[in-house]
């Protein structure tokens, strides 16, 4: 296929690379410089989203937040200006479900299909082509794009209509944040009690408490490796979507709110760009104790 890819950050660059390796012709645009490896692999650089849409039959967007997606799609020189009937827009960013439904309607009015397809798995999953992809949109468009998704991810699910993919991603981010908080509390508790947190983590990995968060982020907490990964500021954005939507629906998400406050505490200490496993530092500051301190 002729595929457009807009947004070539730490996630978008390896994702686009997998598509090129899969034999697809890519048209690239990003506010950051186009990575040399994508150009050398055959990616064609475009000056605007409109130019990308004119050349590609499928246009993938991978940018940080709702306003960025709106700008990429509908600003002067945006994707909408280059669309023609039958093309498919795929937004793989993590943004507002409500805004997604509005964006889909505007793209549909141009005679094109729209899929919201946010991902989970972070930079590691993007590089390994093992992302989980949660999709909202029409079945026919999903079936056409699925071979592209399979080059970037492993667990690919059509959840429902437009907006449902984003809703699923918000739910995912709630679970991830609360699991990070649980692992952080457990390892802080164990370490403060005098146990070796690395051995506690190893023991817990063999029981009912085992999880990917304990495996990967528990290891980060023990080893003090908080380079992202997935930045705290991006997880804050996702939890804000959760809490805003919850207020609109009249439901309470008390532990999500607590996790957001812990992230906010990290940000106040200059940690917006830490990996989200760095949430543990907020708990450590309140305890005046750092995981592993007993072993120093």
Active site members: 169
Q: How far apart (Å, rounded) are the C-alpha atoms in residues 228 and 231? A: 6
In our burial notation (b when 16+ CB lie closer than 10 A, e otherwise), range 79-100 reads bbbbbeeebbbbbbbbbbbbbb
Contact predicate 262/279, CB 8 Å = yes
CA torsion sign, 230 to 236 to 242 to 244? negative
Could you give the residue ranges of the DSSP H alpha helices within the chain?
Answer: 12-21, 36-40, 49-55, 66-74, 97-108, 122-128, 139-152, 164-192, 197-204, 212, 218-223, 232-249, 254-268, 280-287
């Amino acid at each position: 296929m002729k595929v457009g890819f807009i947004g070539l950050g730490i996630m978008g660059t390896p994702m686009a690379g997998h598509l090129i390796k899969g034999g697809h012709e890519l048209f690239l645009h990003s506010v950051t410089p186009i990575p040399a490896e994508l150009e050398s692999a055959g990616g064609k650089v475009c000056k605007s989203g409109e130019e990308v849409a004119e050349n590609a039959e499928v246009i993938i967007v991978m940018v940080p937040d709702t306003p960025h997606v709106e700008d990429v799609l509908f600003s002067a020189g945006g994707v909408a200006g280059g669309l023609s009937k039958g093309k498919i827009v795929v937004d793989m960013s993590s943004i507002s479900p409500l805004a997604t439904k509005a964006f889909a309607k505007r793209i549909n009015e141009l005679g094109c299909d729209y899929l919201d397809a946010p991902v989970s798995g972070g930079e590691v999953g993007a590089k390994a082509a093992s992302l989980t992809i949660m999709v909202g949109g029409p079945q026919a468009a999903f079936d056409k794009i699925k071979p592209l998704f399979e080059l970037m991810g492993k667990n690919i699910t059509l959840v429902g209509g437009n907006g449902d993919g984003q809703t699923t991603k918000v739910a995912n981010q709630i679970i991830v944040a609360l699991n990070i908080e649980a692992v952080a509390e457990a390892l802080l508790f164990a370490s403060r009690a005098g146990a070796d947190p690395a051995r506690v983590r190893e023991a817990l990995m063999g029981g009912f408490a085992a999880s990917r968060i304990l495996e990967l982020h528990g290891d980060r907490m023990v080893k003090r490796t908080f380079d992202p990964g997935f930045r705290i500021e991006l997880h804050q954005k996702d939890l804000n979507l959760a809490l805003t939507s919850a207020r609109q629906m009249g439901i309470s998400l008390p532990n999500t709110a607590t996790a957001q406050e812990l992230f906010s505490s990290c940000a106040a200490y200059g940690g917006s760009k830490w990996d989200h496993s760095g949430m543990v530092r907020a708990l450590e500051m309140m305890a005046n104790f750092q995981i592993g301190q007993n072993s120093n």
